[in-house]
């Protein structure tokens, strides 16, 4: 650990390392590295509000925990704290009780508690003096932001991805090779290229998903970039705009999307970027009507709604409102659902429990019903 922008003594650095070891050494914890702690401090020095937070990633399992680093700058000092947070809804308020309640939407509400936290002496934090000129300037702008913006603007287009990959390769960035490999694999399978892409992803996944891991449970790659996130529906409502500025997302799997939250989800303009939406809560036909009334979902090509509790009426509303829908993932198929699907010649049902009826067998013969193994 080398916090060159601060007057950190060897004793200060060892205290930070000790706090990191204590947090990382706990069972069922998502880890941070020394380099990530340094990065958090650097961001606190350059951010307009003097605040930076980084943790090892969220989880939907209430038993999981994540290492969290919080850096707060006040004048000539920066206070760095490292501790544990619950991985479900991770944040400073879950690591330090004195920071509760923690607001994700209005940072000004956290300021008084942050100031008191930064000045309090505790074994899990270190207060460092910032050296002269320690407010590092942001890196000079280059083509990276412009090239990434082109990828984000056209998620379905391979050309901007290929251009960005070439730019990264010229600078020795392994992400460039990974993008090129996945683009080639999307066109044609190749065992050697697949093995190399898998190795690159295993080595660099944490770095390439760092910002997204702060608010999502899982991230899946396609053609070189994260295309799908699995996250809590409440988090998606709060973070949608930022998430779509970080990756060319076309698929989101929403957890705990209860009916009140779903009402907020369907109002998000970012839905128009999606081709796949997944839900996991029983929302009934009221939820189906919300989805059907969302203009941002008319282009949806796949809907996963196993356990949503739609009746034939709810499915009819969804299917009528989504003309581009090609795949409907459900838990079970009965005659009522099969009768709705039959007139829609391009729609494929994916189900774990299809009923053995003539209509369902007809769908299977036509290749429009796929039996999936039970989870």
pLDDT at residue number 188: 95
pLDDT at residue number 281: 92
Pair of tokens at residue 104: 């994700």
CA distance 100 to 208: 30
Extended strands (E) in 123-262: 125-129, 218-222, 225-232, 251-255
Three-state DSSP at 327 gives strand
Give the list of residues 6+ apart from residue 25 with CB closer than 8 angstroms, or none: none
What pLDDT digit, counting tens, does each position of 284-316 carry?
999 999 999 999 999 999 999 988 999 989 999
> 125, 92, 55: which is closest to 101 by C-alpha?
92
Note the residue count of the chain: 375
DSSP secondary structure letters along 125-153: EEEEEBPTT-SPPPPPP-HHHHHHHHHHH
Other C-beta atoms lying within 10 Å of the C-beta of residue 298 = 14
What pLDDT digit, counting tens, does each position of 20-39 carry?
999 988 776 788 888 889 88
Residue % of the chain over a pLDDT of 70: 94
What pLDDT digit, counting tens, does each position of 171-211 carry?
889 999 999 999 999 999 999 999 999 999 999 998 899 88
Q: Would you say residue 141 has pLDDT above 60?
A: no
CA distance 155 to 139: 27
- CB–CB of 101/114 below 8 Å? no
Mean local confidence (pLDDT), 82-86: 91
Q: Would you say residue 345 has pLDDT above 70?
A: no
Q: 87-91, 92-96, 98-102, 350-354: which range is least confident on average? A: 350-354
pLDDT at residue number 138: 42
CA distance 186 to 244: 22
pLDDT at residue number 142: 57
Q: Which residue has the higher pLDDT, 137 or 122?
A: 122
CA distance 150 to 159: 9
> What are the residue ranges spanned by the domains of the chain?
10-129, 142-208
């Amino acid at each position: 650990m080398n916090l060159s922008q601060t007057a950190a003594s060897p004793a200060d650095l060892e205290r930070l390392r000790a706090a990191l070891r204590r947090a990382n050494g706990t069972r069922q914890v998502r880890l941070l590295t020394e380099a990530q702690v340094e990065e958090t401090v650097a961001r606190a020095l350059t951010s307009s509000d003097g605040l930076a937070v980084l943790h090892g990633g969220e989880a939907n399992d209430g038993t999981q925990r994540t290492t969290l680093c919080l850096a707060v700058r006040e004048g000539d000092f920066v206070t760095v704290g490292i501790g544990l947070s619950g991985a479900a809804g991770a944040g400073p308020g879950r690591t330090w009780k004195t920071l509760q309640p923690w607001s994700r939407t209005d940072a000004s509400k956290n300021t008084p508690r942050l100031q008191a936290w930064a000045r309090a002496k505790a074994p899990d934090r270190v207060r460092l003096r910032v050296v002269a000129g320690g407010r590092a300037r942001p890196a000079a702008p280059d083509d990276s932001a412009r090239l990434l913006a082109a990828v984000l603007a056209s998620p379905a287009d391979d050309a901007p991805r290929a251009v960005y990959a070439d730019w990264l390769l010229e600078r020795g960035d392994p992400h460039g090779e990974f993008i090129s490999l996945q683009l080639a694999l999307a066109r044609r399978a190749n065992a050697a290229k697949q093995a190399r892409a898998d190795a690159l992803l295993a080595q660099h996944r944490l770095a390439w998903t760092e910002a997204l891991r702060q608010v999502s449970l899982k991230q899946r790659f396609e053609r070189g970039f994260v295309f799908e996130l699995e996250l809590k529906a409440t988090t998606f409502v709060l973070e949608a705009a930022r998430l779509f500025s970080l990756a060319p997302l076309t698929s989101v799997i929403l957890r705990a999307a209860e009916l009140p939250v779903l009402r907020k989800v369907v109002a998000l303009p970012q839905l128009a970027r999606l081709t796949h939406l997944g839900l996991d809560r029983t929302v009934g036909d009221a939820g189906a009507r919300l989805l059907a009334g969302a203009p941002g979902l008319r282009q949806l090509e796949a809907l996963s709604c196993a356990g949503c509790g739609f009746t034939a009426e709810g499915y009819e509303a969804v299917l009528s409102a989504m003309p581009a829908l090609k795949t409907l993932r459900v838990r079970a198929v009965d005659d009522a659902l099969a009768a709705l699907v039959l007139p829609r010649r391009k729609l494929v049902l994916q189900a774990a429990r299809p009923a053995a009826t003539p209509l369902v067998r007809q769908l299977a013969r036509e290749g429009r019903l796929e039996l999936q193994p039970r989870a």
